[in-house]
Structure 1
Amino acid sequence: MRNPLNKTITSIKPSGIRKFFDIVAEMPDAISLGVGEPDFDTPWKVRDEAIYSLERGRTFYTSNSGLKELRIEIADFLERHYGLHYNPLTEMLMTVGGSEGIDVALRAMLDPGDEVLIPQPSYVSYEPCTILAGGVPVAINLKEENEFRLKPEELEAAITDKTKILIMPFPNNPTGAVMEKADLEPIVELVKKYDLFVLTDEIYGELTYTGEGHVSIASFPGMKERTIYINGFSKSHAMTGWRLGYVCAPAEIVQQMTKIHQFAIMCAPTTSQYAAVTAIRDCDEDVANMREEYNDRRRYLVNRFKKMGIKCFEPYGAFYIFPSIAEFGMSSEEFCTRLLKEKEVAVVPGTAFGESGEGNVRISYAYSLEALKKAMDRIEEFIKELRK
């Protein structure tokens, strides 16, 4: 019988995050710190608006680009928070989560053989989406001694005449690394020098814990026309299951992205879009409260690892911490497997996010402080046993 499967698809490995998630599902007493999903309920006013929209029978398709009212609200949000100026009618597309935005942007922009620079460790979708779009992923291995920030010399060394897109995954999943204004300035100059485009994934932008706050690379002079800006509601507004994201980009890019979205998806979920109008217009305080709670958890984990003598740089974004386990002389996969088996705590191997993640594990603090304390007690026991 003829092979029914596409060779490119079968060559792509499944997500390393889900492997441990599936195992934990069969362990009733295990504590999972593996999934990057807020433990907060979506703000009530957002859920209430969704219920109201259903009661009013608003279950029809929206335009392919999304509700006009929502796009206008997003444009206002981006201007007041990040100083970004986008035309909501021609430079914005509502997507099924930020993940669809990444996929559609790469498919709209890449020709076969175009290279995409991917700073790693980073989110698991960038590399396979590049391959599926016919591009060639090129990893830039970030270093822990640089707090996993992208350095200009690392970027310039990776650029070739085939390079088309630089992915900027900050604030970063899995490391929690951020890029401040001073970090971005030399990157911007190189992007212009080599005439690159930037896909900036800023889904964790609202979850930044520096005094400066989040700075978007799209806000620099001359960058809007060469930047595809990805964001959404999953992390900042605790709306993972609502599956709603958005892309902002030059009109000619959005036009082609919308074409792909039109044939593959039609439109983002209607109920989610109505709810998101309320989320982005009326929930700044809710987001601030969640960010403060995450910050408390972040500081707790940093201090616990410091007391354990575990090497761990301080993350200033997202809701992840990326401690080093190199001292124990085992792979991150082996460390996580043993921790789950012996102490029933699930964390994610650093290699799930690229080979440069070896020697580290990702721990999510999108869990209650009570759950974190219980899990950290078990991790401390495990580490003491390894050091004997």
Structure 2
Amino acid sequence: MSGADGRAGAEDGRVSADEGGARTAPGRLADIPGFDIDGVARAAESDSRILRLENLDTDLRPPAAAVAATRAALESPAANSYLPFTGRAGLRAAAARHVGRLSGRDYDPDRECVITAGGTEGLLNALLATVDPGDEVIVTDPTYAGMLQRVRLAGARPRLAPWVFDPAAGWRLDLDALAARVRDRTRALFIMNPSMPSGGVLDAGDWAVVAELCRRHDLWLLYNAAMERILYDGRPYLHPAGLPGMRERTLTVGSVSKEHRMIGWRTGWIVGPAAVMADVAKVGIYNVVTGVGIGQPGALAALTAADEAEDVAACVRRWERRRDAVLDALRDYPVRPAAGGWSLLVDTRPLGLTARELSARLLTQAAVAATPMDAWGGPDAQYQLRLVFSNEPVPRLQRLEERFARIA
């Protein structure tokens, strides 16, 4: 990456010609900025005094059964194979049951579930199986850059529907704007719940509007379920595929990365109707070929553990306490509370700074690593700084008040 705004190459996003000959990046990359979270991380990694709030990691341990199953898999020839391309049968069955239990719908693991190399492969595969170049896909604003930019990689055009922050009610999706974004070329709504990076959560009324839009306009719902049960303040859980008419148009993309704290396993799944899953499987085979062999036994152990739901709930309670510690420490700053997920946002406009400027000052003056959200939405994204609270214990997060006070 180069340049102050994190873009690679020239200002238009294309690689400029050099003396070795003219070369430009493909057009699909023209509007995609560089991903510079790792740049903030590199600046912080050598100093243990720095509060690590820049990346979606967590220090909470993966399930013990998953670790044990993975160790055993290292000696298994079956785990060191490309086959089966769509994932091991036991894991497909477990993932289909998992989504079925949460949605209240049954899924056939052989025809309606594909294992992926993490949820992020699943996001791109789902897009490639449902949209054509030039189609439009509605995403929320702000949203995970990995979703927004994958829409562009697929050759489609993102249409942004804003989250709006109400000091009394928190983050709410602008439902009127969402409906207005639907046009003739719209093919899908691409939604993560809880939303990342804001931590906004759709309630039952929001999901009802989403479902009605999908039914009325014959749209796919591409549902990023990576953090779906990480909900705070007693919020109820709802899976959109359980709503009337939504099983046949919802692709659920999940993984063990967040709820089960298994980021490095790179194992996820796509569960959806048989009518589209053959295409999803085809994309997967010609994209990554197969899921991570040695990761799948651990994922199976995590999903089938007798205490799976209790384990996830216990971790959610710990992450909620960490969120609360950040909110308390920064109560005098323009912090926007998260209703779920691993991160929340600071609105930098009242501080007279862009998010990139505040990120730089926090790192150099206050030993806090945090990431600006420039590439994570529309024009307002340059004023949103993300704080990830999942990777630091409460006592360290309580130091944020003193650290922010150092900013000149």
The TM-score range, normalised by the shorter chain, is over 0.9
My pick for the range that moved more, 77-86 or 28-37, is 77-86
Counterpart code for 1:45: A
Which residue, 46, 52, 60 being the options, matches 1:32? 52
Question: 2:263 is matched with which residue?
Answer: 240
Is the aligned partner of 1:19 residue 2:70? no
Q: Note if 1:117 corresponds to 2:142.
A: no
Query: Aligned runs of 1:88-237 on 2, under 5 Å?
Result: 88-145=109-166, 147-237=170-260
Q: What is the CA–CA distance in structure 2 between the aligned matches of 1:105 and 1:56, rounded to whole Å? A: 30
SS in 2 for 1:295: helix
1:232-381, aligned counterparts within 5 Å? 232-282=255-305, 283-306=308-331, 309-355=332-378, 356-366=380-390, 367-381=392-406
2:72 to 47, 52, 56: 52
Report the Cα distance in structure 2 between the residues aligned to 1:222 and 1:117, rounded to whole angstroms: 19
Q: TM-score, normalised by structure 1?
A: 0.92
- The corresponding residue for 2:14 is none
1:120-167 C-alpha deviation (Å, 9 max, x unpaired)? 111011222111111111122321126333232011111111111111
TM-score with structure 2 length normalisation?
0.88
Q: Tell me the secondary structure at the aligned position of residue 248 of structure 2.
A: helix
Structure 1 CA distance for aligned equivalents of residues 209 and 377 of structure 2: 25
- The alignment partner of 1:128 has SS state of helix
Q: Following the alignment from structure 1 to structure 2, what is the Cα–Cα distance between the partners of residues 287 and 332?
A: 32
Measured in 1, the distance between the counterparts of 2:95 and 2:28 equals: 36
Amino acid at match of 2:330: F
Aligned pair count? 381
Distance 1:295 1:100 in 2: 28
5+ unaligned residues in a row in structure 1: which ranges?
Answer: none
Q: Give identity over the alignment, percent.
A: 25
Contact 1:151 1:183 in 2 (8 A): no
Q: Distance in 2 between matches of 1:166 and 1:337?
A: 34
Partner of 1:6: 26
Partners in 1 of 2:200 and 2:30 — Cα distance?
32
Q: Within 2, Cα distance between the matches of 1:84 and 1:311?
A: 41
Q: Which letter maps to 2:387? A: I
Q: What amino acid is the match of 2:281?
A: T
DSSP 3-state at the match of 1:228: strand
Moved more, 224-233 or 282-291: 282-291
- Higher mean alpha-carbon deviation, 143-152 vs 217-226, is at 143-152
1:92 counterpart letter in structure 2? C
CA distance in 2, matches of 1:376, 1:129: 36
Distance 1:350 1:60 in 2: 39
Residues of 2 paired with 1:192 and 1:334: CA distance? 44
CA deviation map 1:197-242 (0-9, x unaligned): 1111110012112424321212101011111111110000110010
The range that moved more, 236-245 or 188-197, is 188-197
Shift of 1:187: 2.2
Give the AA of the match of 1:38: T
For structure 2, the residue ranges without an aligned partner over 5 or more in a row are: 1-20
Query: Are the structure 2 counterparts of residues 334 and 313 from structure 1 closer, same or farther at C-alpha, using a change threshold of 3 Å?
Result: closer
Residue 247 of structure 1 aligns to a residue whose secondary structure is strand
Any conservation in 1 of the 2:188–2:220 contact (CA below 8 Å)? Answer: yes
Q: The residue matched to 1:119 in structure 2 has which SS?
A: strand
Q: Which has the higher helix share?
A: 1
Instruction: Say which is worse superposed, 27-36 or 361-370, in terms of deviation.
Output: 27-36
Residue by residue over 1:254-301, the C-alpha shift from the partner in whole angstroms, topping out at 9 and shown as x without a partner, is 111211211222210111111111100113332222111111111222
- Greater displacement, 278-287 / 171-180: 278-287
Q: Could you tell me how far apart the structure 1 residues matched to 2:288 and 2:124 are?
A: 12
Contact kept? 2:365, 2:406, Cα under 8 Å: no
Question: For residues 301 and 17 of structure 1, what CA distance do their matches in structure 2 show?
Answer: 20
With 185-194 and 5-14 compared, the bigger mean Cα shift is at 5-14
Q: Partners of 1:62 and 1:281 in 2: how far apart?
A: 22
Distance in 2, Cα, partners of 1:376 & 1:234: 30
Q: Which moved more, 1:315-324 or 1:93-102?
A: 315-324
* Structure 2 residue identity aligned to 1:49: A
Q: Is the 8 A contact 1:165 1:198 kept in 2?
A: yes
CA displacement at 1:19 relative to structure 2: 3.0
Give how far 1:74 is off. 1.8
